Structure 1
Amino acid sequence: MIKFFLLVVSFLLSYFLSSIQIKIPKADNFTKDSVTTLRIAVVGDLMCHSPQFNYARVSKDSFDFNPVYRYIKKYLEDADFTFGNLETVIGKKGSNYLGYPRFNSPEEYLAALKQNGFDFLCFANNHTLDQGEKGVLNTITSLNKNYLGYTGAFSSQNDRDSIRIITINDFKIALLAYSYGTNGSLIPKGKDYLINLIDFTLISQDITSARNKGAAIVIVNFHFGNEYQRFPSEYQKEVVKKTIESGADLITASHPHVIQPIQYFKTQNATLDTGVIAYSLGNFISNQRKRYTDAGVILYLNLEKNLNTNKISLKSLEYLPTWVYKGKTDFGNEFLILPLNNLTDSFHFDFLNEQNKIKMQQAFYDTQKILTAFSDKIQLKK
């Protein structure tokens, strides 16, 4: 009887199991999304007025600009890729070095940028032709010597047409740069390649060329706007509108010498769903001392790529306010770029007087207010 019962149970169990279809998920469904990230840091104008190179002078024709960055270096290096706007021309050794209005700076200026975290410089601005064609060519020679990438000004038509595409962490990023003008300096006939001027046809062609060459993200850097105006002009807005229509993902800019707002935008024919325009990142280093002109910012663009789908997104924006100190320290007369993410810590520098601290605090709150004027999604870097 027991054997018969066991046979019946075994038969029913076998029948029941044979009628069930068990679906086993494919191995891919167990695999978590694999992502890679890219952190880009960008600053505004990198200037070199005559007090700057005089403070950096070690001997008659030897300079050291490295001290300028000793408190900000780690923040420039806290990115996979860092770039800014080179708003000076680099002269040959032994040159007659000059500040405003016709810049001509020592080569050591570039060496310090490279040694303190910069990877790339945009060289399309109103001072690019301060020393004519020879100034552009010598600057490019110095950029190459210091292993700094560049765009916006070029040594030949072939150089201009060679779109800069940088591959980092499985991201292919194209960088383009254009200026509103040259302060009246004439471009030699037949040598329009020396500087990219804002031309909507050219910009559209360059973005298309960048895409054809495999760029996933296109960053366009402009030098435009009204000096010392804290909000974008109608011209800036029109340039940005047309650049978005041409397919740019991200837009950064400088020239007003003060910080202007950052705004998100809906992209068109681009990779990112949402892009960003930073209308002006102000002065990162200069001898301009008035309110707003002594303040700068490091903007961090944090990108993420899903390696399974190849979808790229802008995950977040962070900013680090900065302030330029000019004065005496234990090392003599110095220019120093100071981080303002923590005012309490910044105030501990023993070379600061009360007036310095007031200006630093003012710069911090000015920067915070203007950068978030159009969006509250921009985060202060801790």
Structure 2
Amino acid sequence: MDAVALLALLASSAPAAPAAVSSSTSAARAEVTLSAAGDIRLDGPIAAIARKGGPGAPSRAIKRALAADIVFANLETPVTTRGDKTPKTWNFRARPADLKIPRAAGVTALNIANNHVWDYGERGFLDTLHALDRGHWRYVGGGLDRARAERVRVFKVRGLSVGIVGLTSTHPRAAWAGPRKPGVAYSDYARIPDIVRRAKKKCDVLIVSFHGGTELAEYPNDIQKAVAHAAIRSGADLFLGHHPHVLQPVEIYQGKPIVYSLGNFLFVSPSTATRSEAIVRVEMNRDGVQQLTFVPLDGNWGRPKPASAEVAAQARAALDRLGAFEQRPDLLIFESPESTPKDIPGPSVGRTAHP
């Protein structure tokens, strides 16, 4: 879609009316929690750490901080021993056994709509689907055809249905899923409203996961903002982004939270700018998203750990570049390392509102 068409689409999308707020006293309490983290790369340094210390070694210091009913992250690695390299600067590849690494961390759901799942072409992508299916993983953003790549995955927890859809803007056309072609769910602006509206009909709370943006950029680019706003206007309750490898700000749009980038998780990048990471713990009930608590981490070269005061300050500054924490202190919480045990930032202690 060209720029003129995109502007026309955005201009024609009328803002949605604010959601009604229930007067029920039970609505004030969350029924279900979801923890979301950023990018996972399963080969290279992460695989080496796991080979030496076991699959739980990379995540050992922060596993309890990640604990929730649903634990979601972006799998930035094809799982295959076959296929031809796609011509590009960085090609990743992991073995099926390496999927024990996110499982040991407690991850229960994965996004695969990203710019590395096609690193070894269609054969490598199909092997990845097979490995995930064989391992009984719940995943979004890719499939044997476009319908399956775009479909919502619904998690039913204590009577609440939480749906997740995965999209990406980072692939060339060769990797896009088609009506009869395997691939990833491309974030076609013209299709976003239909994808989101269909998904929302199947769940109480809908989360859109999006892989896109500019690597190492402090702010979201125009594509990120356009996709996020279209998703929220179409009915998404929360937008979670990844790909820039650094934290980007939170935005409140039509009353709904947009997290443009959570940075890395189990991933080693050559830039020290990627050191500051975060987990976001989302509390939800039938009225939607009730609270987001951001837990700052230090990437620690593939062994993430609770952030020091210095790294946490960097994380807080990055997340609040648009002033969202001051705008919605009831919704957005930043977990300060000074009030949280440094070894285990557990979900029941030390939550402090952003100052």
- Shorter chain as denominator, the TM-score bin is 0.7 to 0.9
Letter in structure 2 aligned against 1:75: A
Once the two structures are superposed, residues 24-60 of structure 1 have per-residue CA deviations (whole angstroms, 9 ceiling, x without a partner) of xxxxxxx9757651111111111235233234335xx
Count of aligned positions: 304
CA displacement at 1:162 relative to structure 2: 4.4
Distance in 2 between residues matched to 1:101 and 1:183, nearest whole Å: 15
Does the residue aligned with 1:74 lie in a helix, a strand or coil?
Answer: helix
User: Is contact 1:260–1:282 with CA below 8 Å preserved after alignment?
Assistant: yes
Indicate whether 1:338 and 2:305 are aligned: yes
Per the normalisation by structure 2, the TM-score is 0.77
Task: Call closer, same or farther: CA 1:173–1:313 in 2, change over 3 Å.
Answer: closer
Letter in structure 2 aligned against 1:375: A
* Alignment match of 1:264 (pick from 252, 257, 266): 252
Which residue of the partner structure matches residue 220 of structure 1?
208
Indicate whether 1:243 and 2:218 are aligned: no
Q: How does 1:267-282 map to 2 (within 5 A)?
A: 274-282=255-263
Does the residue aligned with 1:181 lie in a helix, a strand or coil?
Answer: coil
Once the two structures are superposed, residues 58-112 of structure 1 have per-residue CA deviations (whole angstroms, 9 ceiling, x without a partner) of 5xxxx943200111111112x111101111111249x99xx97111112233112
Does the residue aligned with 1:68 lie in a helix, a strand or coil?
Answer: coil
Task: Call closer, same or farther: CA 1:36–1:283 in 2, change over 3 Å.
Answer: closer
Does the residue aligned with 1:67 lie in a helix, a strand or coil?
Answer: coil
CA displacement at 1:318 relative to structure 2: 0.5
CA displacement at 1:133 relative to structure 2: 1.3
Which residue of the partner structure matches residue 365 of structure 1?
313
Task: Call closer, same or farther: CA 1:33–1:127 in 2, change over 3 Å.
Answer: closer
Which residue of the partner structure matches residue 117 of structure 1?
106
Q: Which runs of 5+ in 2 are unaligned?
A: 1-23, 336-349, 351-355
Q: CA RMSD in A?
A: 2.8
Which residue of the partner structure matches residue 333 of structure 2?
379
Does the residue aligned with 1:182 lie in a helix, a strand or coil?
Answer: coil
* Alignment match of 1:89 (pick from 65, 73, 78): 78
Which residue of the partner structure matches residue 69 of structure 1?
59
Q: Please identify, of 200-209 and 293-302, the stretch whose mean Cα deviation from structure 2 is larger.
A: 200-209
Distance in 2 between residues matched to 1:188 and 1:262, nearest whole Å: 30
Letter in structure 1 aligned against 2:289: L
Q: How does 1:126-205 map to 2 (within 5 A)?
A: 126-157=115-146, 159-160=148-149, 162-182=151-171, 186-187=175-176, 191-205=180-194
The share of aligned pairs that are identical, in percent, is: 24
User: Is contact 2:140–2:151 with CA below 8 Å preserved after alignment?
Assistant: no
Does the residue aligned with 1:66 lie in a helix, a strand or coil?
Answer: coil
Distance in 2 between residues matched to 1:126 and 1:178, nearest whole Å: 11
Which residue of the partner structure matches residue 321 of structure 1?
296
User: Is contact 1:136–1:155 with CA below 8 Å preserved after alignment?
Assistant: no
User: Is contact 1:49–1:287 with CA below 8 Å preserved after alignment?
Assistant: no
Task: Call closer, same or farther: CA 1:161–1:362 in 2, change over 3 Å.
Answer: closer
Letter in structure 2 aligned against 1:262: V
* Alignment match of 1:299 (pick from 271, 274, 280): 280
Q: Which of these two proteins has the greater Rg computed from alpha carbons?
A: 1
Task: Call closer, same or farther: CA 1:185–1:156 in 2, change over 3 Å.
Answer: closer
Does the residue aligned with 2:57 lie in a helix, a strand or coil?
Answer: helix
CA displacement at 1:282 relative to structure 2: 0.5
User: Is contact 2:147–2:179 with CA below 8 Å preserved after alignment?
Assistant: no
CA displacement at 1:186 relative to structure 2: 4.9
Letter in structure 2 aligned against 1:295: S
Letter in structure 1 aligned against 2:58: V
User: Is contact 2:153–2:164 with CA below 8 Å preserved after alignment?
Assistant: yes
Which residue of the partner structure matches residue 47 of structure 2?
53
Distance in 2 between residues matched to 1:178 and 1:220, nearest whole Å: 8
Task: Call closer, same or farther: CA 1:185–1:303 in 2, change over 3 Å.
Answer: same
* Alignment match of 1:80 (pick from 69, 72, 88): 69
Task: Call closer, same or farther: CA 1:365–1:103 in 2, change over 3 Å.
Answer: same
Letter in structure 1 aligned against 2:235: G
Letter in structure 2 aligned against 1:380: F
Q: Which runs of 5+ in 1 are unaligned?
A: 1-30, 267-273, 306-311, 327-334, 344-360
Indicate whether 1:41 and 2:31 are aligned: no
User: Is contact 2:242–2:262 with CA below 8 Å preserved after alignment?
Assistant: yes
Task: Call closer, same or farther: CA 1:215–1:190 in 2, change over 3 Å.
Answer: closer
* Alignment match of 1:208 (pick from 173, 193, 197): 197
Which residue of the partner structure matches residue 254 of structure 1?
242
Task: Call closer, same or farther: CA 1:137–1:313 in 2, change over 3 Å.
Answer: same
Once the two structures are superposed, residues 276-311 of structure 1 have per-residue CA deviations (whole angstroms, 9 ceiling, x without a partner) of 100011011212143331221100111233xxxxxx
